[in-house]
């Protein structure tokens, strides 16, 4: 799109108003200009999404170059519109709605870079980081032949199902060696350019810009308060899991140290549900449900998994997927050998109700829940599709992530899995409930410190308190501090372990997931109340409740048209985030964990402040014996004395 084309309307409008060079306060004319912008922007963003989709579903030099070109065109449009808006309009005295739209238009992200060469370099750096991550492989020699494994499904499957300590470490180390070193210098360059763009937008740095999306001055303190409220539950879960892993791996897992990071069934130790079989509270009872075998037995495929998810939404009275969704989505890894970005994502193409999902779906229960998560994004798109483009977004970034997950809380219940034919019977048994809650906690509670720390790391990088010489050390300090994990091998600053998580090279803010994992339980409790549920919160399934669907729909349709506390109030009756619903959901498991850990005299937490402080398990045992020997001798002497 040429600059001349994008400027046509502003120039004509300025002539009509007769106030060239003087910003107008005419709100009626300003609204007409905003309508013009809405039409033009839909075309621009559709073109941008199309180029990005082509690259993500077929990574080649050509599609990468085309994506970069269109991204630069889009940035130019965004910059030009912001300049025109500021030159033409003084919206300070206009209505809340009009001011909100102009404020959004003039906060233009990386497009604010005035130097075109720098903008082009930033765009190319981001594209190159995504390419490195998405095409990385871990290779090994098998019987004289090189065998190379892609991240999904090869590496994810091995980590999920493997139980050999050394093999898991090979996979863990191999992925980080393949990705991190290539990204390190690129990321450093990205930080500098991104910060320069943030300053041009009026922020101190990129982290400050991201936090502004939450429209709350106390956002960081609010998060810290919530984390501290949830910390005791995490520490109890961590201590219980650590003992169980010690029973499996022996003295390689100390009962007082951080846990080696490669033993959780997940590349980043962010969710632990894949090791449920190692930590199951009551192995002879149901509750820790994995319906993957049942899905395979019933010949599930990716399309059927998405249809099952769609039917959940329509049972609530929400919208079905448009035909174009089924025609244009990529829901399995292509079989023609193309390199693709397999990380699951939902796409809104900004016009023509063109919504798609990109996911290399595997027939597993874990992916069934991921499908519901991504379909939640699509449902949000559908519900706010009639809003102006400016308002087509989540009330805050965490809202968008929470919608699919709140449905998954119902989908994962034994009651629901029984209703859709994936579970033969539902057993009412307190032990089975603990199994179910443990399985859910391994996904939800285990995630909380990880969801919290990623942007703690990035905010420090963006504000300069963590420099390039300390990237990896600070990453592992935070992971040890918050998660209580340690790397299974030596790390140094030639590596770049943060870059081995998709959201870092893709520049996707992550605190939204922490927010989501808290507020989804607020949503869940409110929707369960609307559905007339009685009984423990963890047994609620809102399937087929149109009353719950109406409550959810009212919030979704608002998009970003109102500050998020108003959207929160629309669905929950509350105006703030709170952990109370989450704690209520897991209360039976919390009580059980506390009892078990007390019985085992379990240490809550870990001695190490950084992973380098973590002791060798054998040395830790010897040190513990040495430290307690005088006490043991005194006790023995006292016993002899009193017996005499």
Q: CA torsion angle for 38, 40, 43, 49 (degrees, to 10)?
A: -70
Helix or strand (DSSP H, E) at 259? strand 259-260
State the DSSP string of 124-167: HHHHHHHHHHHH-EEEEEETTEEEEEEIIIIIHHHHHH---HHH
Helix or strand (DSSP H, E) at 260? strand 259-260
Contact assessment for residue 519 and residue 398, using Cβ atoms and an 8 Å cutoff: yes
Distance CA 129, CA 115 (A): 21
Alpha-carbon 215 to chain mean position = 20
The residue whose two tokens read 């005035």 is 114
State the DSSP string of 485-518: EE-SS---TT--GGGGSTTTTTT---HHHHHHHH
- Does the annotation list 524 as a binding residue? no
For residue 229, count other CB atoms closer than 10 A to its CB. 15
Alpha-carbon 553 to chain mean position = 23
Q: State the burial class of residue 363 (Cβ atoms within 10 Å of its Cβ: 0-12, 13-18, 19+).
A: middle
In order of 96, 313, 395, 568, the CA distances from 559 in angstroms are 15, 18, 6, 12
The residue whose two tokens read 């292509």 is 334
Active site (annotated) includes residue 503 = yes
Can you read off the two tokens belonging to residue 279? 């930590």
Contact assessment for residue 294 and residue 285, using Cβ atoms and an 8 Å cutoff: no
Verify cis geometry, omega within 30 degrees of 0, for the bond prior to 153: yes
State the DSSP string of 335-390: SS------S-EEEE-SSTT-EEEE----SSHHHHHHHHHHHHHHHHHHHTTTS-GG
- Does the annotation list 377 as a binding residue? yes
Q: Which of 80, 120, 304, 503 is catalytic?
A: 503
Which residues does 600 contact at the CB level (< 8 Å), separation at least 6? 243
Active site (annotated) includes residue 374 = yes
Contact assessment for residue 493 and residue 473, using Cβ atoms and an 8 Å cutoff: yes
- Does the annotation list 262 as a binding residue? no
Distance CA 415, CA 353 (A): 34
Q: Which of 158, 374, 474, 602 is catalytic?
A: 374
DSSP 526: H
- Does the annotation list 372 as a binding residue? no
Q: What is the CA radius of gyration of the chain?
A: 26
Residue among 142, 170, 166, 145 nearest 155 (CA): 170
- Does the annotation list 474 as a binding residue? no
Distance CA 359, CA 332 (A): 6
Q: CA torsion angle for 30, 35, 36, 41 (degrees, to 10)?
A: 120
Residues in the annotated binding site for chloride: 214, 512
Residues designated catalytic: 374, 503
Residues in the annotated binding site: 214, 373, 377, 401, 512
Residues in the annotated binding site for Zn(2+): 373, 377, 401
């Amino acid at each position: 799109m040429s600059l001349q084309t994008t400027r046509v309307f502003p120039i004509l409008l300025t002539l009509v108003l007769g106030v060239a060079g003087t910003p107008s306060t005419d709100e009626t004319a300003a609204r007409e200009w905003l309508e013009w912008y809405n039409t033009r922007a839909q075309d621009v963003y559709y073109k941008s999404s199309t180029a990005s989709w082509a690259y993500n579903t077929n990574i080649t030099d050509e599609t990468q170059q085309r994506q970069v070109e269109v991204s630069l065109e889009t940035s130019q449009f965004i910059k030009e519109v912001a300049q025109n808006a500021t030159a033409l309009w003084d919206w300070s005295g206009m209505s809340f709605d009009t001011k909100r739209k102009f404020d959004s238009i003039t906060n233009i992200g990386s497009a604010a870079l005035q130097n075109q060469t720098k903008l082009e370099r930033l765009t190319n750096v981001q594209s190159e980081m995504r390419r490195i991550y998405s095409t990385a492989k871990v290779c090994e020699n098998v019987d004289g032949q090189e065998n190379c494994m892609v991240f999904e499904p090869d590496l994810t499957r091995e980590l999920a199902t493997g139980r050999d300590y050394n093999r898991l470490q090979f996979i863990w180390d191999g992925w980080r060696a393949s990705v991190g070193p290539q990204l390190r210098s690129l990321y450093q360059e990205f930080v500098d350019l991104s910060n320069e763009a943030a300053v041009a937008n009026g922020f101190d740095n990129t982290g400050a810009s991201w936090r502004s999306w939450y429209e709350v001055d106390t956002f960081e303190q609010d998060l810290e308060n919530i984390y501290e409220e949830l910390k005791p539950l995490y520490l109890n879960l961590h201590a219980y899991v650590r003992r169980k892993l010690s029973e499996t791996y022996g003295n390689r897992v100390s009962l007082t140290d951080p846990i080696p990071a490669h033993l959780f069934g997940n590349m980043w130790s962010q969710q632990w549900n894949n090791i449920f079989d190692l930590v199951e509270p009551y192995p002879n009872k149901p509750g820790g449900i994995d319906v993957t075998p049942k899905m395979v037995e019933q010949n599930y495929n990716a399309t059927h998994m998405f249809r099952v998810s769609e039917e959940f939404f329509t049972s609530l009275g929400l919208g079905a997927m448009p035909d174009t969704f089924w025609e244009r989505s990529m829901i399995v890894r292509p079989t023609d050998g193309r390199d693709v970005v397999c990380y699951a994502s939902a796409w809104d193409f900004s016009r023509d109700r063109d919504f798609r999902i990109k996911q290399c779906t595997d027939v597993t229960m874990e992916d069934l829940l991921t499908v519901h998560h991504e379909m939640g994004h699509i449902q949000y798109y559908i519900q706010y599709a009639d809003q102006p483009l400016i308002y087509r977004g989540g009330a805050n970034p965490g809202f968008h992530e929470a919608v699919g997950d709140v449905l998954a809380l119902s989908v994962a219940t034994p009651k629901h899995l029984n209703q859709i034919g994936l579970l033969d019977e539902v057993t009412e048994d307190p032990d089975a409930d603990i199994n179910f809650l443990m399985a859910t906690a391994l996904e939800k509670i285990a995630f909380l410190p990880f969801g919290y720390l990623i942007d703690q790391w990035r905010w420090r990088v963006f504000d300069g308190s963590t420099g390039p010489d300390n990237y990896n050390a600070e990453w592992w300090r935070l992971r040890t501090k918050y998660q209580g994990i340690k790397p299974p091998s030596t790390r140094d600053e030639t590596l770049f372990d943060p870059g081995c998580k998709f959201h870092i090279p893709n520049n996707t803010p992550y605190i939204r997931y922490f927010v989501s994992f808290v507020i989804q339980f607020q949503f869940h409790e409110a929707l369960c109340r609307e559905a007339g549920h009685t009984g423990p919160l963890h047994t609620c399934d809102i399937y087929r409740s149109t009353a719950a669907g109406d409550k959810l729909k009212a919030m979704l349709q608002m998009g970003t048209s109102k500050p998020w506390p108003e959207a929160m109030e629309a669905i929950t009756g509350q105006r703030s985030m709170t952990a109370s619903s989450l704690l209520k959901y897991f209360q039976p498991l919390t009580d059980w964990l506390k009892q078990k850990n007390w019985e085992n005299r379990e240490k809550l937490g870990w001695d190490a402040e950084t992973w380098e402080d973590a002791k060798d398990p054998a040395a830790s045992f010897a040190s513990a014996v040495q430290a307690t020997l005088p006490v043991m001798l005194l006790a023995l002497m006292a016993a002899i004395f009193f017996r005499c």
